[in-house]
Amino acid sequence: MPWIMRGLRHGVVTSRYPRLGDGYGDGFAGGVTVRGDVADAAVLDLCIADCPTGAITVEADGPLLDRGRCVHCGRCVDHAPETFSYSPNFQTARSGREGLVVPTVGEDDASLAVLRRRVAQTTAMFRRSVHIRHVDAGSDGSDEWEVAALTNPVYDVQRLGIFFTASPRHADLLLVTGVATVGMRDALLATYEAMPAPKIVVAAGAEAISGGLIGHTYASLGGVDHVLPVDVYVPGAPPTPFGLLYGILIAVSILAEPLGGTR
């Protein structure tokens, strides 16, 4: 049986994240960030004009990048590497839409530290299983590959008490990918209404957050929060499995709050 020899050869491949730091490495392009040096106005104008989703704006304090719109095309990094660069950080999910804008305007370092500590405490105190209902509301398929990876031996979310369920009546958390097409609006509402309280919604990927490259059209609502109240946003195009797991843990920490049952 070859799988026995393969197992002996490779040993345990399952990540120890979040108990231990287990990222993708320093060279991983986890997301685009804004650096300290600001390019001249002509170069920034080129970045804005060349951004396919309008993720870049320039304010009085300098350029801002909306990770909820960014599709990681890398054009801004090519045009202005002194201002924009890739970051290996995959812990970019936020519990508020404004927190996806970098440099961060909606959350300061202190509030982010509180958020990460809350996630760590929730993980350490996991006392009940969490069931996820995943709905594809019009994605290109890439998000689904990353969601499916969460159950493979490397990420193995079941070890944390996280399970996927086919029935919304058994779900605590609704994970939505895709642009939220007009045709999926009623299905999303029906799924949400069928879930028992407390319940929480996670929008995963640029498409689910802002519509991505498609945006708001005759067939697309331009993001899940045009249909449902979104609690956690996980940026990426697509988001990575670790990024998804971080966002799910934020959601679980919200569910664990004493007032979580009021939703």
State which amino acid sits at residue 108.
Answer: D
Q: What are the pLDDT digits (tens) for 42-90?
A: 999 999 999 999 999 999 888 999 999 999 999 999 999 999 999 999 9
Instruction: Return the pLDDT at 39.
Output: 80
Comparison of pLDDT for 252 and 93, the residue scoring more = 93
Structure tokens at 179: 């642009």
CB distance 174 to 199 below 8 Å: yes
Show me where the domains of the chain are located.
31-89, 109-262
Eight-class DSSP state of 216: B
CB distance 212 to 197 below 8 Å: no
User: What are the residue ranges of helices labelled H in 163-231?
Assistant: 185-194, 206-210
- pLDDT of 234 above 50: yes
Which CATH entry fits the domain spanning 109-262: 3.40.50.2000, 3.30.10.20, 3.40.50.12280, 3.40.50.360?
3.40.50.12280
Instruction: Return the pLDDT at 116.
Output: 59
Q: What are the pLDDT digits (tens) for 106-164?
A: 455 555 556 556 655 555 555 568 999 999 999 999 999 999 999 999 999 999 889 99
Q: What is the mean pLDDT of residues 207-228?
A: 96
Q: What are the pLDDT digits (tens) for 189-211?
A: 999 999 999 899 999 999 999 99
Establish how many alpha carbons lie within 13 A of residue 48's alpha carbon, considering only the half-sphere containing its beta carbon. 14
Question: What CATH code would you report for 31-89?
Answer: 3.30.70.20
Comparison of pLDDT for 14 and 19, the residue scoring more = 14
pTM, two decimals, is: 0.88
Structure tokens at 207: 């498409």
Q: What is the mean pLDDT of residues 170-178?
A: 96
User: Which of the four pLDDT bands, split at 50, 70 and 90, describes residue 261?
Assistant: very low
Instruction: Return the pLDDT at 258.
Output: 53
